[in-house]
Amino acid sequence: MRSLQYFPSVSISFRTQKDVNTPLLPRLSPTKTRNYPLPLRVATSTDEILPNAVRRKTDINWRGGFSLGVDLGLSKTGIALSKGYTFRPLTVLKSRGQKLETKLLKIAEEEEVDEFIIGLPRSSDGKETVQSNKVRSVAGRLAVQAAERGWRVYVLDEHGTSSEASDRMIVMGLGKSERQNREDAYAAVILLERYFSTQGLGAEIILPKSLDLQEKIKNNAPKDPDFLPGKLEEYYKF
């Protein structure tokens, strides 16, 4: 798979046939030069459009770029947030379609997020399911709107996140009703933890077809100078 490559303009010199066949003389007139920028190539990997998990791996002091975990269910969507080295369940949305996508974009803007990590359903043998197609459809539409803002959308295998989230909430002592209300959000937390612990291994970027939008994604390099690792207590509330 090839990544988006940007090539500098190339200079092409034009000489007449006379110049080619005649020995060079000390006082030849300068050759004409024209610049022809080569077209952009389609981005198909994360080689140049780095996910936050990879950026963190290459620079331990890097603090820019927050991530939103998204667990798309049949009726509910769990949302989790990663800021710095913390992960927390954020909310559970019951919207669908365009309303859901609008709310995701609004949350991302409010939380200074620059990438979405969307759970992709897979069976126990690693194959995609019918629900996988639905998730890819949502991810594709969201990717176009996110790219307008310079944000990225990834899908990542979510197999086992719901059961792991349920087990964690039991250990935390949450009651049955509370677990049912929060399970999707905690599943999104597990997804984010998996994403960062493996440095983004297996994450698949979803790119819009527009090269202009791909350029916006590539050129976006968000930084959050206000992020202070010592002030994390607010991120644990849910």
Compute the average pLDDT of residues 32-46: 46
Hey, what are 209's tokens?
Answer: 């077809």
Residue 13 pLDDT > 50: no
State residue 62's pLDDT score.
65
- Report residue 151's pLDDT band, with 50, 70 and 90 as the boundaries: very high
Q: Which helix (H) or strand (E) holds 156?
A: strand 152-157
Mean pLDDT of the chain: 78
For 89-133, write each residue's pLDDT tens digit. 999 999 999 999 999 999 999 999 999 999 999 998 989 999 999
Distance CA 90, CA 238 (A): 6
Answer whether 54's CB lies under 8 Å from 156's CB. no
Distance CA 231, CA 19 (A): 70
- Report residue 50's pLDDT band, with 50, 70 and 90 as the boundaries: confident
For 192-216, write each residue's pLDDT tens digit. 999 999 989 999 999 999 999 999 9
Residue 32 pLDDT > 70: no
Answer whether 12's CB lies under 8 Å from 30's CB. no
The domain limits of the chain are 65-217
Answer whether 161's CB lies under 8 Å from 190's CB. yes
- Report residue 219's pLDDT band, with 50, 70 and 90 as the boundaries: confident
Distance CA 182, CA 180 (A): 6
**CATH code of the domain made up of 65-217:** 3.30.420.140
Burial letters for 140-158: b for 16+ Cβ neighbours within 10 Å, e otherwise? ebbbbbbbeebbbbbbbbb
- DSSP label of 85: T
State residue 84's pLDDT score.
72
Distance CA 187, CA 161 (A): 5
**46-50, 119-123, 187-191: least confidently modelled range:** 46-50
Compute the average pLDDT of residues 31-47: 47
Half-sphere exposure of 137 (CA within 13 A, CB side): 9
Residue 33 pLDDT > 90: no
Adjacent-strand bridge partners of 205: 154
State residue 54's pLDDT score.
85
Pairing status of strand 77-83 against strand 10-14? unpaired
State residue 213's pLDDT score.
93
